[in-house]
Amino acid sequence: MTTLNPTGGTPQVTSQTVSTTPAATAPAPATRRSEPYLRLHWTDSLTEAVGYLVVHTLRGGLTTGGTRMRAGCTLGEVEDLARGMANKTATFDLPIGGAKGGIDFDPKDPRAGAVLERFCEAMRPWLDAHWVTAEDLGVPQHLIDEVFEKLDLDQSYHAAIRRSADPAKTLERVRNGLNAAVDGGFLLGDVIGGYGVAHACLAAAVARGRAPGETTVAIQGVGTMGGSAAYYLHEAGMKVTTVADAAGALYCADGLDIPALLDLRDGYGEIDRARLPEGITALPRNAIISADVDILVPAAISYAITPDNSFDIRAHVIVEAANAATTPEAEAMLAARGIPVLPDFVANAGAVAWAWWLLLGEVDDVPDTSFDRLRTTMHDKVAQLLTAWTDDDITPREAGHRWADDPAPLIGRVVIP
């Protein structure tokens, strides 16, 4: 294990080793167990918070992955998430490796911002030169950007921006893209990941021969990812009948008014129950898992679907908006029941793919350009995954892993304009 001085001292590193229902004998999803490139372990002397950086792969000297904060975050969790990021970047042919940061601390604690700042200061050698990070569970993008500004690193994409031919121009392009206004009063950088998830769901409906208006959806989590996915599914005409946040689940058989509910969210992505519109039924939080819908979207926490609750699932397709939302054992049990799981490293990879398209100058601050490219890419990939499922009895995760195991060759140093 690697230990970092909590005041930001020199790291001490030690090496470490359609019908979309195929036959009930569908193979279990593959589980990758390769060792990460690097693990860093940090302890905060002021709060005793513990943090981790896991670099699963490094390509061209760069790696990417968000930083999360939650009470109970573990090294094993961060390792799983870093592995998932490596799969995302390889699957979408991005010239970068995969990593993840995690802090075991309550993001609602008033000391959380200072803890994040000290964590980033400790990880500064990696953030300065190699690790491109961003928002994740418990850490909004604006907060991590504020920390980077305090550390004179400008913005959380700093490690890539500093390599560009014109860092000031690249930083301006990134900021303009992240802050581009889109319909609904949102910012492009906040909704692009959820937009990709929504189109993974729409592509799954097409594979099942269902029109959007005939398709029902349940979404666990209405934060940045789940909320924007719900918004774009609602816009596309899908019936979002059930959503859940930390306070419980909300249900309406005729479909929830998603824009109205999103307007009732607080800063932690929780809906104000005192101002709910009429006609909504409040249910226990875990009712989301057993919702009688076509598509279930776990968009809140890792390991939401386990062997213990997998038999409660009534949905026909699972679309992972949260990272590592389904345990391998639960996914094998779902496969045996003929329920495919669209893996996170495809379904929710829109945000990281878009960030790199933006960094590389392949998209700009015109939202339609970004939406068109992500929509086309997501529909193509999901169609391939579900064709492998129906035609060849290959789980979507295994089919996706085959892409990830054969990334595009990286020749020389990444050139960022």
Determine phi and psi for 285, rounding to 5 degrees: -60, -40
- Alpha carbon distance 169, 151 (integer Å): 20
Buried b / exposed e along 125-136 (16+ C-beta atoms within 10 A): ebbeebbbbbbb
pTM (predicted TM-score): 0.88
The answer to whether residues 314 and 295 touch, using CB atoms and an 8 Å cutoff, is no
| pLDDT of 22 higher than 90 | no
Give yes or no for residue 30 having a pLDDT over 60: no
Instruction: State residue 121's pLDDT score.
Output: 98
Count of H-run helices and E-run strands, the chain: 14, 16
pLDDT tens-place string over residues 71-108: 999 999 999 999 999 999 999 999 999 999 999 999 99
Give the N- to C-terminal CA distance of the chain in Å, as an integer: 37
Handedness of CA 101, 232, 170, 85 (dihedral sign): positive
pLDDT digits (tens, 9 = 90+) for 246-301: 999 999 999 999 999 999 999 888 999 999 999 999 999 999 999 999 999 999 99
Domains and CATH numbers, the chain: 3-17+33-87+96-163 (3.40.50.10860), 190-404 (3.40.50.720)
Pick from 34, 242, 220, 251: nearest CA to 137: 220
Please, are residues 131 and 100 in contact by the beta-carbon 8 Å criterion?
A: no
Note the pLDDT of residue 289: 97
The per-residue pLDDT for 13 is: 38
Residue-level pLDDT at 21: 37
Q: Which two tokens stand for residue 250?
A: 């909300």
